[in-house]
Amino acid sequence: MNKAKRVTITDIARLAGVSPGAVSFALNGRPGVSAQTRQRILDIAEESQWLPNSAARALVGSHAGVIGFAVNRSAGTLGAEAFFTDLIAGVQSALAGKRIAMQMVLVSSVEEEVATYRRWHSAKQVDGVIVIDPRDDDPRLPVLRDLALPAVVLGSHASPEGHPATIWLDDSQVAHSLFDYLGALGHRSIAYVAGPAEFQHTRLRTEVLAGLGERGVRGEVIATDFSPAAASTAMRRLLSRLERPTAVVFDNDVMAIAGLRVAQEMGVPVPKDLSVASFDDSVVAGLVHPSITCITRDTFGLGAEAAKFLLEQIDAPDVLADRIGAMPQLTVRESTAVPR
Amino acid sequence: MNKAKRVTITDIARLAGVSPGAVSFALNGRPGVSAQTRQRILDIAEESQWLPNSAARALVGSHAGVIGFAVNRSAGTLGAEAFFTDLIAGVQSALAGKRIAMQMVLVSSVEEEVATYRRWHSAKQVDGVIVIDPRDDDPRLPVLRDLALPAVVLGSHASPEGHPATIWLDDSQVAHSLFDYLGALGHRSIAYVAGPAEFQHTRLRTEVLAGLGERGVRGEVIATDFSPAAASTAMRRLLSRLERPTAVVFDNDVMAIAGLRVAQEMGVPVPKDLSVASFDDSVVAGLVHPSITCITRDTFGLGAEAAKFLLEQIDAPDVLADRIGAMPQLTVRESTAVPR
DNA sequence: GGGTGCAACTATAGCGATTTAGTAAAACGG
DNA sequence: CCGTTTTACTAAATCGCTATAGTTGCACCC
């Protein structure tokens, strides 16, 4: 068995004939060694394939070299939505090359999420976290503030400026761009099959839809748990009524696809008799037939920006300036049309 | 600003009036302290919300408390496939409760993947890894063996038994269950739109299809990069020919959905004139119209099993007994039928 | 020429756990 | 009741790295 003993800075120090301290200076680009010695040390480190032991580094108090991502979704809905993988892929793209890893954990409640942050902080396991799905009166934000754990929140929330840093996503704008589009097409009865009511974006979207009332649009909201089954049920109920809505908007693409299927099963032609749209895009939304009109967000880019922002904040926790996320675009596809 | 100073075993030792060593014994259920003292220490630790500093633990040489997962897929195809999220969700389910985290990284080549394993091992960043998509002559396996890094490989590969441990997935069986089904329906010309040729499962499936030649089935393989665009192109080419295949099988569900759309665009009724099937299932595959006949694998369960197996191996690296993964099932849906 | 400054290092003290060796007191045994 | 084992601890080393306080040696300058 290959023992593969790990190379430490002490080994390098011995090889270079200097003290471990000098090696540390050299490897971290700190003053305290001559250019010549520094180069010699770097060469030896390279040759002997030295890699820093992250545990030791984390212990001495600098960085853990890890950012954390706690996802509060059931395992089932996780796999269905492309949002997470896209976001993660974006985060990874920003982390590539840097010696920073991402730790991910699935939690099943906000309480558990908060506990995870506490544990991560206490165990010095992560340097910062990415937080999604802000809620009204979000219990996570004060905790992150208390722990002084660097964080980037994606979305819009009521918290005052400052920690935690936020990439603001203007959900009202987003809701407007989709609902206004449907209104402009002539739809006067729109149903919105939403996710859980406690999410901030659900509330904002609901408000925007309600706001269209002045313009003669009757809106209706059905809360679900994001599952395709719930979407099917909602759709079936909507289409069984005498007064059907002429457009149904879903919170994500999987629910929209589920809804689409129900419409087809019930013989309701889309988009002729019914328009369908989704607040979330994905590759598949553009591939099904009819393809689904969606709000297209650069989730990958968002993930990358979030990671970069987080890293900046970890480096300089005091320099805080919230950012505005890229505005999502409306992608009109085949599933929406002028109502009959 | 809340300083939130971290509690260490030294603090607990002081509070309990014992030495840090005794606290360590107590907290780890090791002999060396009286039952009474142990309880007192545990109580104090609980009260003061002590949590082990994982960096310190990793440094002394026990465990890092982290398992690693390096995914070699482009960011784009990652989000499209539910496989990864399902697998990850499964892994997480097995890790929940235990104090073990999962680190994930996206790599873009096998070389980079190998380098990642080297780095992880050298930096003692992970205790073990999960390896997917085995290849012919896989360069990763000898490296893992050399590093003696605990690992679990998912799939079938040519390596002799022993390290790394494997959960064998019988891809020939899987291929048989799908291709034989199509053959039994009466299909005599089957196209297989596959992933990259270097994957072991691509080869095995190709072999099975070729084997059907004796029974009068003409098979044909088109290699792609797993992207829906490539699937569309392949499908368009297949359907433009005079002699169309009567069934097309895709390596994953997203490609199948892309192919389905092409068929619909070209006015080829599915399943009447063309059967479509996929080697990978997902929620969406069952929701599109027509729903797609798939090989359904309990990916979530597989992830959970892989994680459990890996943890066992980390605990006892010498006790190795490969396992047989659960056999995937054929899920017949609307997209396949007797050919005209 | 002796004080001052600076560059280039070394020595050493942690960080928070684990772990081994050592020690005092209690229990045991004949 | 004395020698031996066991119990219940403490003291101290250790992991790999960082950071701070020295310690040289050499140039500079009035």
Asked if B131 and B71 count as a contact pair (C-beta separation under 8 A), the reply is no
Judge whether residue A62 contacts strand D, using its CB and a 7 Å cut-off.
Answer: yes
Following CA atoms A240, A246, A251, A252 in sequence, which dihedral angle do they give, to the nearest 10 degrees?
90
- In chain B, alpha helices (H): 9-16, 20-27, 35-47, 54-60, 75-80, 82-95, 110-122, 140-147, 171-185, 200-211, 228-240, 253-265, 299-315
Nucleotide nearest to B32 (CA to C1'): D8
Question: CA distances (Å), A51 to each of A127, B17, B69, B118, B324, in order?
Answer: 20, 40, 19, 9, 36
All residues at 6 or more sequence positions from B186 whose CB lies less than 8 Å from its CB, including other chains? B338, B339
Q: Strands B329-331 and B293-296: what pairing?
A: antiparallel
What's the CA gap between B168 and B312, in Å, rounded? 17
Which residues 149-178 of chain B have a CB within 8 Å of chain A? none
Q: B233 is written with which tokens? A: 């192109």
Closest by alpha carbon to A303, among A325, A279, A319, A278? Answer: A325
**Number of other CB atoms surrounding residue A46 within 10 Å:** 9
Q: Strands A293-296 and A329-331: what pairing?
A: antiparallel
Query: For chain B, first and last CA: distance in Å?
Result: 75
What's the CA gap between A225 and A221, in Å, rounded? 13
Judge whether residue A62 contacts strand C, using its CB and a 7 Å cut-off.
Answer: no
Beta bridge partners of A190: A219, A247
Please give the pLDDT value at position B4: 52
A to B CB pairs, distance under 8 Å: 198
B311: left (phi over 0), alpha (psi -120 to 50) or beta: alpha
Please give the pLDDT value at position A57: 87
Q: What is the pLDDT of residues A65-93, one digit of tens each?
A: 899 999 988 776 776 777 888 899 899 99
Give chain B's mean pLDDT. 90
Smallest Cβ–Cβ distance between A89 and the set B6, B101, B106 belongs to B106
What's the CA gap between A136 and A120, in Å, rounded? 24
Amino acid at A46: E
Q: What is the pLDDT of residues A240-296, one digit of tens each?
A: 999 999 999 999 999 999 999 999 999 999 999 999 999 999 889 999 999 999 999
Give the length of chain B.
340
Q: At what angle are helices A9-16 and A20-27 packed, to 10 degrees? A: 100
Flag if A53 and B105 touch (Cβ within 8 Å). Answer: no
CA–CA–CA angle B318, B166, B156 (5° rounding): 150
B window 11-70: Cβ near strand D (< 7 A) = 17-22, 25, 32-34, 36-37, 56, 59-61
Q: Which H helix or E strand runs over A20?
A: helix A20-27
Rg (CA), chain A: 25
Q: What is the pLDDT of residues A146-174, one digit of tens each?
A: 888 899 999 988 877 777 899 999 989 99
HSE value, Cβ hemisphere, 13 Å, CA-based, for A91? 29
Residue A223 burial class via C-beta count within 10 angstroms: exposed 0-12, middle 13-18, buried 19 and up:
middle
Residue A236 burial class via C-beta count within 10 angstroms: exposed 0-12, middle 13-18, buried 19 and up:
middle
Q: Which domains does chain A have, with CATH numbers?
A: 9-51 (1.10.260), 66-169+299-328 (3.40.50.2300), 171-296 (3.40.50.2300)
Q: What is the pLDDT of residues A233-254, one digit of tens each?
A: 999 999 999 999 999 999 999 9
Closest by alpha carbon to B231, among B212, B207, B208, B248? Answer: B248
Residue A243 burial class via C-beta count within 10 angstroms: exposed 0-12, middle 13-18, buried 19 and up:
exposed
Question: How far apart are the CA of B11 and the nearest CA of chain A, in angstroms?
Answer: 14
Amino acid at B158: A
**Number of other CB atoms surrounding residue A305 within 10 Å:** 20
Nucleotide nearest to B12 (CA to C1'): C16
Q: What is the pLDDT of residues A190-218, one digit of tens each?
A: 999 999 888 888 999 999 999 999 999 99
Kindly indicate the confidence band of residue A1, based on its pLDDT and cuts at 50, 70 and 90.
very low
Q: Is the peptide bond before A271 cis (omega within 30 degrees of 0)?
A: yes
Q: Strands B128-131 and B293-296: what pairing?
A: unpaired
pLDDT one digit per residue (tens) for chain B, 340 residues:
334 578 899 999 999 999 999 999 999 888 888 889 999 999 999 998 898 888 898 888 778 889 999 998 877 677 677 788 889 989 999 998 787 889 988 888 999 999 999 888 887 889 999 999 998 889 999 999 888 889 999 998 887 777 789 999 988 999 999 999 999 999 999 999 999 888 888 999 999 999 999 999 999 999 999 889 999 999 999 999 999 999 999 999 999 999 999 999 999 999 999 999 999 998 899 999 999 999 999 999 999 999 999 999 888 777 777 889 999 999 999 999 999 8
Positive or negative CA dihedral for B174, B178, B181, B182? Answer: negative
Residue with tokens 């936020």: A166
> What SS3 state is found at A168?
strand
Positive or negative CA dihedral for A236, A241, A246, A249? Answer: negative
Please give the pLDDT value at position A3: 46
Please give the pLDDT value at position A174: 94
Ordered DSSP codes for B275-307: EEEESS--TGGGTSSSPPEEEE--HHHHHHHHH
Kindly indicate the confidence band of residue A4, based on its pLDDT and cuts at 50, 70 and 90.
low
Range A111-129 average pLDDT:
89
All residues at 6 or more sequence positions from A238 whose CB lies less than 8 Å from its CB, including other chains? A191, A222, A244, A245, A248
Which nucleotides of strand D come closer than 7 angstroms to any CB of the protein? 7-12, 14-21
Judge whether residue A48 contacts strand D, using its CB and a 7 Å cut-off.
Answer: no
Asked if A173 and A180 count as a contact pair (C-beta separation under 8 A), the reply is no
| B30 CA from C18 C1′ (Å) | 11
Q: Is the peptide bond before A164 cis (omega within 30 degrees of 0)?
A: yes
What's the CA gap between A181 and A178, in Å, rounded? 5
Q: What is the pLDDT of residues A45-67, one digit of tens each?
A: 999 988 888 889 888 877 888 99
- CA closest to C10 C1', residue: A19
Q: Which of A3-7, A37-41, B19-23 has the lowest mean pLDDT?
A: A3-7
**Number of other CB atoms surrounding residue A27 within 10 Å:** 17
What's the CA gap between B277 and B256, in Å, rounded? 7
Longest CA–CA span in chain A (Å) reads 87
* A42 touching chain B per CB within 8 A: no
Please give the pLDDT value at position A2: 39
Asked if B296 and B267 count as a contact pair (C-beta separation under 8 A), the reply is no
* A184 touching chain B per CB within 8 A: no
Q: B112 is written with which tokens? A: 């980079």
Query: For chain A, first and last CA: distance in Å?
Result: 75
* A109 touching chain B per CB within 8 A: no
